[in-house]
Structure 1
Amino acid sequence: MKNLFYFFAILLFFWNCKPNRTQSDTAMSDTATFETEKPRKLKDALNGKFLMGTALNVRQIEGFNPAEMEIVKTHFNSIVAENCMKSGRLVPQKDHYNFDTADNFVKFGEDNNMVIHGHTLVWHSQTPRWFFKDKAGNEIDKEELSRRIKDHINTVVNRYKGRIKTWDVVNEAVLDDGSLRKSKFYNLLGEDFIKIAFETAHKADPDAELYYNDYSTSIPKKREGIVRMIKKLQAQGVPIHGVGMQGHVGLDYPELEEFEKTIEAFSALGLKVAVTEFDITVLPSPWENQGAEISANFEYKEQMNPYPDKLPDSVNTAFNARCLDFFKLFLKHQDKLEKITMWGVNDDNSWRNNWPVGGRTDYPLLFDRKNRPKPIVNHLVDLATQ
């Protein structure tokens, strides 16, 4: 009996210690429940505004980094291949296509109900050398180059017809001064190579949306050159549906006002607009106005790699503010923007670590090297859902 008495005494003590649940407590609990139901995923927060995309590298596509792919499935609803669909990777030797990685990339997108973007069909930088040579190693003529462009586009686009929704048909054909780049495509075919590429892609898949893609589009002369080129294509009836603005930006360049002018200028052409390759470098630039010319490389110097171990709080604050400013701009023009695509999943696999100076440590993306969302992710969710 004594033990039973002690048991009930202890039970009564804890019952009296339990706080009463007031109406105020109930309201607070309901509020907390409501807030936890608020979307915390980027793709959900931005639903109905624009797609949230990211670029995938070969190791991710081939399953070597499952934690990174979980980030992709959780936060993104659009994907683009960083390199595996460029002609230099797809067909390094004449008539010998290797679609293994590209097929896995497309399958991942389909399995996860994502919008798949093809990148890229015609680009001067990663075109295999054989593309411009005959069997004897001599340069081909314009008729043969035209045929090879058509054959390549037909081969690739037809393989993924109805599966890849949007394509970068031509990449980086305009220089910063607004003139057309004197690439091997241009030197043999003139500006007609652009027309040929778009017309061929449209015939291969009439339902696909076709984009022109370029970097440093905020430079006024380059913006004007792209607009001039597109107006000429439109006047010829060439099927072009959108423009991709590569968003390789820094903490202090480009000016937001110029970036906004470019969104408005491209939209005024009656085209869809996408920010295709967004990242924010926090490192010093070896040149005054940094673009994204892939062929540019500079010698490593310690002063060009100021944060090898950790990003200082002051720089992290500046990164957050810069990212918020851009997303405020994107949301302001959500009626014009189809998607925003981060160029990479986390800081560790960003190309920014090795370009334009190799061996550096950069912090340009939304997820850190341990696949943790940076605080900016929640800030962006709050911004999109306020």
Structure 2
Amino acid sequence: MKKSRFISIRSLGMVATLLIGLGCMVKTEKKAPETLKDAFEGKFHIGSALSANHINNQNQPSMGVLKTHFNSIVAENNMKSGMIQMREGEFNFEVADKFIEFGEANDMHIVGHTLIWHSQAPRWFFTDSEGNDVSPEVLTQRMKDHIHTVVGRYKGRVKGWDVVNEAILDDGSWRNSKFYQILGEDFMKLAFQFANEADPDAELYYNDFSMAQPGKRDGVVKMVKDLQAQGVKIDGIGMQGHIGLEYPTIEEFEKSILAYSGLGVTVMITELDLSVLPSPRRDMGADIATNVEYQQSLNPYTEGLPDDVQKQFDDRYKAFFKLFLDHHDKISRVTLWGINDGDSWKNGWPVRGRTDYPLLFNRDNTPKSVVSELIEMAAKY
């Protein structure tokens, strides 16, 4: 009898312990994420580009969306050389300073964009007082002065810099920019060296569009390998995500993620937006020199998206984010190119005056239905 009583008491003790344990499990069960940044925590940063309008009007509703859903920021235009140093030696950091201060005040992962880019570089950068091309020595010094001044100003405050933007063409050859014409391939090496000198702790990136194109993929891989062989620091590659409903293919995009990460650098999905509008030319990248005359047939959704197009949009975003999640060990950041549809440059490129719907939040800052689906998807990884 005594033995049975002992077993009974012991059993009750075990049951009590089990119930207490289950109670603790219920109490400590992790709450389901409700925002994008919480859903992707531990996988990659989720970011947005900020325009001067955002930076100068920080009380607007879209900034509430930014603080709620995003944890990384990049300046859309206001850190480019043509904006910061319109005239030689005259630096204007007013908007850039506000951008950095906002990021710091809100504990954001801050990315600088971009130090060297042919498209929005001021004309004086490449010419002398008579309008002739400067010598390689002069251009090298101007690059050094610009990079040292900008990167040095924000040393320790910017996580990483897009050092060079869009220097390789879709066929893998070098873009015949003024940087390339005057300095050849060395301009790439010099840009990264100068940035590293100015802030040795900052991460340094190369950023480009159409990065899923096989020719560009091969060209970028070769360029990075050449830099690495020369001992040049390069930490990451930005794959601009200016995508459409039909291009690029998931398969080619994945091949590029694997090829770039295989170089031993991090991969970032930058400038992400998804245009639903008909393209004047299939598989257009983001070359802002390409503009097309307005045609009504190219602007079919002025009153909103039909249900079938909205479904295509949702499915396409989910397919790409599934790809990003599948490779989250290789990807450090996914950045949308704007906060809501009204912000997007796609409303004016490559056809001015169109109404596009490329981002995750509507013009009134409400989340699209796909946002909750992305959050649910991420929670399963």
State if a TM-score over 0.5 links the two structures: yes
Read off the aligned partner of 1:185 and give its amino acid letter.
F
Superposition map of 1:303-318 within 5 A: 303-318=297-312
Number of the residue aligned with 2:156:
162
Are 2:339 and 1:349 aligned? no
Read off the aligned partner of 1:310 and give its amino acid letter.
G
Superposition map of 1:59-70 within 5 A: 59-63=53-57, 66-70=60-64
Superposition map of 1:122-133 within 5 A: 122-133=116-127
SS, match of residue 378 in structure 2: helix
Shift of 1:65: 5.6
Read off the aligned partner of 1:96 and give its amino acid letter.
E
Superposition map of 1:1-386 within 5 A: 37-63=31-57, 66-386=60-380
SS, match of residue 364 in structure 1: coil
SS, match of residue 377 in structure 2: helix
- Superposed CA offset, 1:194-230 (max 9, x none): 0000001001100000000000010101100000111
- Distance (whole Å) between structure 2 residues aligned to residue 77 and residue 188 of structure 1: 39
Read off the aligned partner of 1:382 and give its amino acid letter.
E
- Superposed CA offset, 1:141-186 (max 9, x none): 1110000000000000000000001100000000001000010000
- Distance (whole Å) between structure 1 residues aligned to residue 190 and residue 337 of structure 2: 28
- Distance (whole Å) between structure 1 residues aligned to residue 132 and residue 179 of structure 2: 15
- Distance (whole Å) between structure 1 residues aligned to residue 365 and residue 122 of structure 2: 34
SS, match of residue 52 in structure 1: strand
| Matched positions, count | 355
Shift of 1:91: 0.9
Number of the residue aligned with 1:22:
none
Instruction: Give structure 1 stretches of 5+ with no counterpart.
Output: 1-30
Shift of 1:192: 0.1
Going from structure 1 to structure 2, the CA distance change for 1:65 and 1:307 (only over 3 Å counts) comes to farther
Shift of 1:64: 5.8
**Is the 8 Å Cα contact of residues 59 and 65 (structure 1) preserved in structure 2?**
no
Shift of 1:138: 2.4
Q: Post-superposition, which runs of at least 4 consecutive aligned residues in structure 1 deviate over 6 A?
A: none
For the aligned residues, what is the CA RMSD?
A: 1.4
- Distance (whole Å) between structure 2 residues aligned to residue 289 and residue 259 of structure 1: 13
**Is the 8 Å Cα contact of residues 87 and 127 (structure 1) preserved in structure 2?**
yes
Read off the aligned partner of 1:220 and give its amino acid letter.
P
- Superposed CA offset, 1:85-129 (max 9, x none): 000111111111110000000001000101100000000000011
**Is the 8 Å Cα contact of residues 212 and 243 (structure 1) preserved in structure 2?**
yes
- Superposed CA offset, 1:7-60 (max 9, x none): xxxxxxxxxxxxxxxxxxxxxxxx9xx89x421110001100000000000010
TM-score, normalization by structure 1 = 0.90
Identity, in percent, stands at 58
Read off the aligned partner of 1:195 and give its amino acid letter.
K
Read off the aligned partner of 1:237 and give its amino acid letter.
G
- Distance (whole Å) between structure 2 residues aligned to residue 307 and residue 64 of structure 1: 30
Instruction: Give structure 2 stretches of 5+ with no counterpart.
Output: 1-25
**Is the 8 Å Cα contact of residues 80 and 117 (structure 1) preserved in structure 2?**
yes
Read off the aligned partner of 2:355 and give its amino acid letter.
T
Number of the residue aligned with 2:23:
none
- Distance (whole Å) between structure 2 residues aligned to residue 147 and residue 66 of structure 1: 41
Shift of 1:342: 0.3
Read off the aligned partner of 1:125 and give its amino acid letter.
S
Shift of 1:136: 2.9
SS, match of residue 170 in structure 1: strand
